[in-house]
Amino acid sequence: MTAKKTVLIVDDNELVLESLDLLLSGAEGFQSIRALGSDGAMRHLRHAPVDIIVADVILAGSVSGIDLCNEAIKRHPDIALVVITADSEVRVDEVPQRGVFLRKPFGATELMVAVQMAQRKVANSH
């Protein structure tokens, strides 16, 4: 039996956090941690093992979702990244190279495909 992958979900909207948490925690092989804004997410990155991060670009707190992802890579070199946003100004090239970009709104299937793609990118980088 393989260990569950820990997914850190970061958004500054409680409803989005709850929805993503329900989708991911209901999926086989994942357990999720929620962080409301970047400051809470940074605490989790410092103190908990995290395999995957699903982060919004625009966040309440001291850093953006992109900055958070870059920090996550430093702390957890094998972390998979899914960057989400509803902001039409955000460009794919702003996302870290190993990250997968997902524009809101999206459904469960798109989210799971993005998470799998992000995990493959990390696996292929070794």
| Tokens linked to 85 | 């946003």
Please, which pLDDT band fits residue 2 given cuts at 50, 70 and 90? Answer: low
Average pLDDT over residues 83-107: 89
pLDDT for res 58: 92
Q: What is the pLDDT of residues 15-32, one digit of tens each?
A: 999 999 999 988 889 999
Predicted structure pTM score? 0.94
| Tokens linked to 42 | 């940074």
The strand pairing partners of 82, in sequence order, are 54, 100
Please, how many CA atoms are within 13 Å of residue 67, restricted to the half-sphere of its CB? Answer: 12
Structural domain of 104: 5-124
What's the CATH code of the domain at 66?
3.40.50.2300
Number of domains in the chain: 1
